[in-house]
Structure 1
Amino acid sequence: MAKRYKAGKQSCDILKEIQALEAWQSKIEFTKEQIPLAEIGSTTAGPSTFTPEGTQNNFESRELIYKAALESLQPNNESHKMIALCGMGGVGKTTMMEQLKKEVQASKLFDRVVKVVIGENTDLVALQRAIAINIKLEDLKEETKDARADRLRTIFEEMSKQGKKTLVIMDDIWSEVELKDVGLSPLPNGFKMLFTSRDKRFCTHMGVRSNSIFEVGILNDAEAKTLFFGIVGLSDGDDPALQKIGEDVVKKCGGLPIAIVTIAKILCNNNKAAWEKALWRLERDDLKDLESITDRIFEMSYENLKENDDKAIFLLSALFPDDFDIRTEDLLRFGWGLGFLKDGKTLREARRDMEICVNNLLCANLWTKSDRMGCVKIHDLVRAFVLNKISEVKQASIVNIDNKTEQYANETYERILLKCTGMTEFPSDFNYPNLSLLMLMDGHRSLKFPEDIYKRMEKLEVLSYEKMHIPLLPRTSEHSTKLRTLCLRSCSLINDDVSFLGSLSNLETLSFVDCGIRWLPSTIGKLKKLKLLDLTGCVDLCIEDGLIMVVLLGSQIETVMSWRNFHTGYLH
């Protein structure tokens, strides 16, 4: 009975998705007009009710909050200039915010919706830069925080004078943000702000009125049971014994949606013994606080992954910043460089296995879907669980460190992501001899690197630079013989000179996405182990005569990402 119910429900859901896609397609209007950056229009009507992610249920406790918040966001509602959604981690604040965002965009309540993610480490420079990009500024050239704030304030005032209605969303606020330092105070006419935070005190200090703070709480018992049993596909009367175990499991989840959904997906299609074991594990250590219970559920979901590659790719994904749109292609390339996904001998086979891995992690609720094509997201609670609780790989994600790494001065780290926002000089004490993967992001043009940095990382296998104006690249094979993956995205190279890369003899994947290089020298032909070359976004590229034949005939390359389009071609 349970299996028939679940199959029928899945079929019904699929049919609804098909009907929705058909309706959406029929309303598409084709135009040759250029669409402004960060102005997202929609021809479809937004949802009128709040539906928790991954379910078909409308819960009354959320519905009232959702409708009240939506009413407050109406541009003609002058009594609510700033609105906040507050509640504990994992309760669904960001999910509700995203649905509100889609609703106001679909209804065209605002001319522009600007969303930025704050996270645990508030970085005003990164925040100002993100807002600038969202309002069609390439970057802020001003050197000081105050000058950047004045520039943004002037732009906002001009937008207000033009009658533009703008919604600014700040997601995941962990501490008070001084809006004046950002350039958002005083708030111009026609502007509204929407915050999400775990602590409503921060929102109050930032000027949100008490009647504009909407607290998103846990689900009540009936809603929690509905959510759980709807996912596992068990209806009343199917199996009383299993029903009782499920109710006890739900009680342990404390009404927290992320915990309920994750444990339900673990138990889908499992037998009674698996349900009993799950309940036993939740009760065994008499866990009393929701954080410990949630960590235990994440641990169970992680251990439930059957493939080692699934576990390895999942751990790797936790390095990316909060709320980051993680490109699965990046995970593939980084994973390949670290020796994952080796059931297949080719990148084509590895990409196939990566698709299976993505599906498995989404089904396990360890990842969530992203609005961006080819990307996934990891919830901040899941990410924190990996970085703090799983010790299989020593890794750290470091942001906003003000030119210092003392707090992460552990030479045993094997993987590090470092956001370089605001840095003028790379930390001189950056010494990690066991490092196999290094990701550097968001570096200013004035950032200077120590020349001997690669001498300290002789085990480095994967190197990634993203939005780094002038990255320091390994210029000899002396200290980079193990490097197998080198990825550059939105970086600048001095004189477009990449000839030195020919000395990196073990390189297998090489990427210059949106780096705008204009010259591909013949020395690239020395990379005999190269399997992937990505030149996407290099639109003015000139290739040295005969290089393509040298690369194709002299190496093992099987994939070229075209500099003329965004499609992958496989070479045989």
Structure 2
Amino acid sequence: MKALQDNNCNRIGLHGMGGAGKTSMAKEVACKLKDSELIDKVIFLVVSKPLDFKKILGELAKALDVDLEKVNEEELSHTICARITHMEEKLLIILDVWEEFDLTKNLGIPSDHQHKSCNILITTRNLRVCTELRCQTIELQTLNDEEALGLFKAHASINKSTRGLKGMPEKIVKHCGGVPVAIVAIARALKNQPTSVWKDALKTLEDHGVDQNLEEAYKCLKLSYDNLKHEKAKELLMISSLFPEDYEIPIQLLIKIGIGLGSCGENDEYHFKRNEVCAAIAELIYSSLLLNGEEECVKMHDLVREVTLWIGDNDIKSIVDLKIAIKKSLRYFLWKNDDFPVEFDGEKLEVLLIFLDGSKDLEVSKNAFLKEMTKLKVLILYCSFYKRIQALSLTNSLQSLKDIRTLILKNLKLGDISILENLLSL
């Protein structure tokens, strides 16, 4: 709070390990500053990996009320810079950042001397980001033992009636490494559980490790995953980790995917399956493995996403770079590129998400890899921009997907789709 009110410093770097609470802290401070009328406008942006400045520029422009239809892409950063420079309001821009970049060149955010009323708050795991962006750095430490135990007890509902645990809460908390996201997840997993479950959890934490800097947090989150009651919840957590970092996942989309992964027949069975999926999503939210997002959406904490991808290493993959090798025998796959792979082993694939930016026409006919996906149950083909693109021969390519149950096509110009009536499992 003090740093952001210091007129001699316009860039603050909040640095700390994953799950320490950097984003929560930044948002809380922003709310307090706005309530006290020390800040007029707050903009929060996630600069995820890999860097996608086109997307971030669009979000920043929208937040600044820039009319995107009247500004071409080449001029957008200059327009944003001019808009911020001439603003009379006090502005706070919060950037969740993984790696360093030029704020002015890439996002149009003016330098310190150009606009004193624009404060930048960077949240990052990487201390070098703070140094490169010339920030006043504040380190957010993990919780000390007393704070960690207090947080754990609050979420595990420990009271006088749970004295039979005999020091197990203290021992379990030690394994959480003071990381709030891990503490809350494991506390909720153990809430109202018998002593035998607590003993098993403690033994698991003591016996199993991973070769990571966040070893203890990983173990705690893995235990929370293992303690999920429903297999459908585990499956949907894997699906959620496919989406990009900080992605707002529509709950209705997760429901459709979850139903598609089941075996739905008559209407009664469909509604039963829907209720089962909704219960699984509710369990994930209660366990803090999914977080409530905006407008009927959920999202994943980046540390939870990392752990989930680590757990499902053999079954799940998100590809945004053509240079990255694609593993064989994947069950869940996200492809975020306009060029499809020429060769792809999709024999065991059950869920395929394809994100396009719409920069060119989609030509499925050149790639016959859909024909190999005989076990595919869910296909989502999504163009992220408003303009529609021509999906040449797409409907013909879908004929081989005899087990497809959920098919979602968005922002695509398709033409005649009558051939889809042959997909009897849809």
Is this a same-fold pair by TM over 0.5?
Answer: yes
Q: Secondary structure at the match of 2:47?
A: strand
Counterpart position of 2:330: 413
Deviations 1:32-68 (A, max 9, x none): xxxxxxxxxxxxxxxxxxxxxxxxxxxxxxxxxxxxx
Which of these residues, 131, 155, 158, is aligned with residue 80 of structure 2?
155
Q: CA deviation at 1:155?
A: 3.4
Give the 3 Å change call, closer, same or farther, for CA 340–113 of structure 1 in structure 2: farther
Which of these residues, 81, 89, 93, is aligned with residue 18 of structure 2?
89
Matched-pair contact (CA < 8 Å) for 1:343–1:350:
no
Counterpart position of 1:181: 105
- Bigger relative contact order (CA 8 A; separation at least 6): 2
Aligned pairs for 1:49-88 (under 5 A) are: 70-74=1-5, 77-88=6-17
Q: Secondary structure at the match of 1:331?
A: helix
Aligned counterparts of 1:152 and 1:397: Cα–Cα separation in 2 = 29
Counterpart position of 1:358: 281
Q: CA deviation at 1:248?
A: 1.0
Counterpart position of 2:310: 388
Q: Secondary structure at the match of 2:2?
A: helix
Give the 3 Å change call, closer, same or farther, for CA 73–419 of structure 1 in structure 2: farther
Which of these residues, 93, 118, 121, is aligned with residue 47 of structure 2?
118
Aligned counterparts of 1:382 and 1:352: Cα–Cα separation in 2 = 25
Aligned counterparts of 1:287 and 1:443: Cα–Cα separation in 2 = 36
Matched, 1:204 2:136: no
Aligned counterparts of 1:378 and 1:411: Cα–Cα separation in 2 = 26
Counterpart position of 1:439: 353
Matched-pair contact (CA < 8 Å) for 1:454–1:479:
no
Q: Give the residue type in structure 2 aligned to 1:461.
A: K
Matched-pair contact (CA < 8 Å) for 2:233–2:283:
yes
Q: CA deviation at 1:414?
A: 3.0
Which of these residues, 304, 315, 320, is aligned with residue 243 of structure 2?
320
Matched-pair contact (CA < 8 Å) for 1:73–1:192:
yes
Q: CA deviation at 1:106?
A: 4.1
Q: CA deviation at 1:287?
A: 7.0
Aligned counterparts of 2:209 and 2:355: Cα–Cα separation in 1 = 42
Counterpart position of 1:244: 167
Deviations 1:324-347 (A, max 9, x none): 111111011122222268898444
Which of these residues, 137, 144, 155, is aligned with residue 231 of structure 1?
155
Matched-pair contact (CA < 8 Å) for 1:344–1:350:
no
Aligned-residue identity in percent: 28
Which of these residues, 362, 365, 369, is aligned with residue 451 of structure 1?
365
Matched, 1:131 2:60: yes
Which of these residues, 463, 486, 505, is aligned with residue 379 of structure 2?
463
Q: Give the residue type in structure 2 aligned to 1:170.
A: L
Aligned counterparts of 1:471 and 1:264: Cα–Cα separation in 2 = 50
Aligned counterparts of 2:54 and 2:332: Cα–Cα separation in 1 = 25
Q: CA deviation at 1:466?
A: 4.1
Give the 3 Å change call, closer, same or farther, for CA 112–506 of structure 1 in structure 2: farther
Q: Give the residue type in structure 1 aligned to 2:395.
A: R
Aligned counterparts of 1:305 and 1:239: Cα–Cα separation in 2 = 22
Aligned length: 414
Aligned counterparts of 2:190 and 2:103: Cα–Cα separation in 1 = 45
Matched-pair contact (CA < 8 Å) for 2:100–2:133:
yes
Q: CA deviation at 1:90?
A: 1.0
Which of these residues, 259, 264, 277, is aligned with residue 336 of structure 1?
259
Matched-pair contact (CA < 8 Å) for 1:169–1:195:
yes
Q: CA deviation at 1:388?
A: 2.1
Q: Give the residue type in structure 2 aligned to 1:475.
A: T
Q: Give the residue type in structure 1 aligned to 2:11.
A: M
TM-score by length of 1: 0.66
Aligned counterparts of 2:296 and 2:66: Cα–Cα separation in 1 = 26
Matched-pair contact (CA < 8 Å) for 2:404–2:425:
no
Counterpart position of 1:294: 217
Aligned counterparts of 1:343 and 1:93: Cα–Cα separation in 2 = 47
Q: Secondary structure at the match of 1:255?
A: coil
Q: CA deviation at 1:320?
A: 1.0
Q: Give the residue type in structure 2 aligned to 1:155.
A: I
Deviations 1:235-255 (A, max 9, x none): 4x6555514111111112221
Which of these residues, 278, 291, 299, is aligned with residue 377 of structure 1?
299
Matched-pair contact (CA < 8 Å) for 1:484–1:506:
no
- The two structures, once aligned, show a CA RMSD in angstroms of 2.9
Q: CA deviation at 1:218?
A: 0.8
Give the 3 Å change call, closer, same or farther, for CA 376–86 of structure 1 in structure 2: same
Matched-pair contact (CA < 8 Å) for 1:411–1:433:
yes
Aligned counterparts of 1:196 and 1:289: Cα–Cα separation in 2 = 21
Deviations 1:82-117 (A, max 9, x none): 112110011111111222333344445444322221
Counterpart position of 2:118: 191
Q: CA deviation at 1:384?
A: 1.3
Aligned counterparts of 2:357 and 2:209: Cα–Cα separation in 1 = 46
Matched-pair contact (CA < 8 Å) for 1:319–1:396:
yes
Aligned counterparts of 2:379 and 2:304: Cα–Cα separation in 1 = 25
Give the 3 Å change call, closer, same or farther, for CA 241–337 of structure 1 in structure 2: closer
Matched-pair contact (CA < 8 Å) for 2:248–2:299:
yes
Q: Secondary structure at the match of 2:167?
A: helix
Matched-pair contact (CA < 8 Å) for 1:341–1:350:
yes
Deviations 1:348-369 (A, max 9, x none): 4333323311221122221122
Aligned counterparts of 1:454 and 1:328: Cα–Cα separation in 2 = 32
Aligned counterparts of 1:305 and 1:443: Cα–Cα separation in 2 = 36
Q: Secondary structure at the match of 1:472?
A: strand
Which of these residues, 113, 125, 142, is aligned with residue 218 of structure 1?
142
Deviations 1:437-483 (A, max 9, x none): 22223503335545333544442432221415416362225434443
Q: CA deviation at 1:226?
A: 0.9
Q: Secondary structure at the match of 1:387?
A: helix
> 461-470 or 249-258: which moved more?
461-470
TM-score by length of 2: 0.86
Aligned counterparts of 1:85 and 1:121: Cα–Cα separation in 2 = 21
Computing the radius of gyration from Cα coordinates, the structure with the larger value is 1
Give the 3 Å change call, closer, same or farther, for CA 272–170 of structure 1 in structure 2: same
Aligned counterparts of 2:222 and 2:173: Cα–Cα separation in 1 = 17
Aligned counterparts of 1:202 and 1:340: Cα–Cα separation in 2 = 48
Matched-pair contact (CA < 8 Å) for 2:370–2:401:
no
Which of these residues, 290, 295, 311, is aligned with residue 367 of structure 1?
290
